[in-house]
Amino acid sequence: MNQIATAKQDSASQVYVYDDNGNYMFAVNGELVGYTSNTVSVKPDPSSEQVYVYDNTGSYKFAR
């Protein structure tokens, strides 16, 4: 299973996630909060306090 190397926010509300070879892994809607090698944290709505966490396959894991 590939690990997350980079997560980039585009100019709209899309976050693109790439592996360590620069290959596209998945994209999610929202504002990038942060990422690790195994998760990406995204605010689905910039005015919201809620943050959604996705794993390195792009599957939703939990909200905090």
User: Quick check: 25 pLDDT over 90?
Assistant: yes
Residue spans of the domains in the chain: they are 4-63
pTM: 0.92
Among 64, 56, 2, residue whose Cα is nearest residue 33: 64
Question: Which tens digit of pLDDT belongs to each residue from 34-45?
Answer: 999 999 999 998
Tokens of 16: 């693109």
